[in-house]
Copies of this chain bind each other. A is one copy, B any other.
Amino acid sequence: MRLTVPIALRWSDLDAYAHVNNARMLSLLEEARIQAFWRADDREAPLTDAVGATTAVLDARPGADTFSLIARQEVEYLLPIPYHRQPVEVELWIGHLGGASLDVCYEVYSPAGLEPRVLYTRAATTIVLTDAATGRPRRISPTERAAWEPYLGEPLRFRRR
């Protein structure tokens, strides 16, 4: 199963080629990942999927006991992205669920409703859950594992490796 997260572009995401900057793309993926996996503030609604479940169970916000450190990223830029007023759609799933780490896979598509739908970017991120106090990796909890397992799927196969 995949989660779809709408992510609003900003004019300042464009670089002097008038396309979304390659580095900025990773901020968009980061935002989709946080919406999907980080626990919301009690007053705020977390992202839920089609059946009303939420994957947003990880408490890695500043001040929490866990840091979610990025160990590795891989990105394929298939087509340049122009400024869109409507949010682009980021589809996410988990390509690997380890003891203390997970691989998040992404496909970034044109905004909902624009035809034809365009696949702009494919990417994967390896995250290591880290104890904020000791700096050491910490195990994925049963609650986290239960929330995330439905989204486990085939890892992305990159074309250009």
Copy total for this chain? 4
B31 touches A10 (CB 8 A): yes
- Separation of A126 and B76 alpha carbons in the complex (Å): 9
- Separation of A70 and B73 alpha carbons in the complex (Å): 15
Residues of B within 8 A of A61 (CB): 16, 83
Contact with B along A131-153 (1 / 0, CB 8 A): 00000000000000000000000
Give min CB distance, A155 to chain B, whole Å.
Answer: 11
Number of interface residues of A (CB under 8 A): 51
Partner of A45, one of B41, B46, B85: B85
Residues of B within 8 A of A69 (CB): 77, 80
Given contacts A11-B31, A12-B31, A61-B83, contact A72 B75 (CB under 8 A): yes
Give min CB distance, A139 to chain B, whole Å.
Answer: 19
- What are 25 A-B pairs at a CB distance below 8 A? A7-B8, A10-B31, A11-B34, A12-B24, A12-B27, A12-B31, A14-B15, A14-B62, A16-B16, A16-B18, A16-B61, A16-B62, A16-B83, A18-B62, A22-B26, A22-B70, A23-B27, A41-B85, A44-B86, A71-B76, A71-B160, A72-B74, A73-B75, A73-B77, A74-B75
